[in-house]
Structure 1
Amino acid sequence: MVTAYIDESGGSGKESLNVYILAATIPLTDDTDRCRDRLRALKPTEARKLHWYRANDLDRTRIVQTIADLDVMHVVVESVEPPSTRDERHRRLCLRMLLARLDQMGVGDVVMESRGPGSNHRDRTMINTMRVDRTISAGMEVSHRDGPFEPLLWIPDAVCGAVVDRRLGRPHFLSHVQETIEWITRGV
Structure 2
Amino acid sequence: MNLITTFKPISMGLSQSRTYLFGAIFILGNLLLPQLCHFIPDGGKMWLPIYFFTLIAAYKFGLRVGLLTAIFSPVLNCLLFGMPSLAILPVLLIKSSLLAGVAAGVAHYTQKLSLLHIAVVIVAYQVFGGMAEWLLTGSFMAAVQDFTWGLPGMLFQIVGGWLALKGLAKYEF
Report the TM-score when normalising by structure 1: 0.27
Q: Which has the higher helix share?
A: 2
The structure richer in strand per residue is: 1
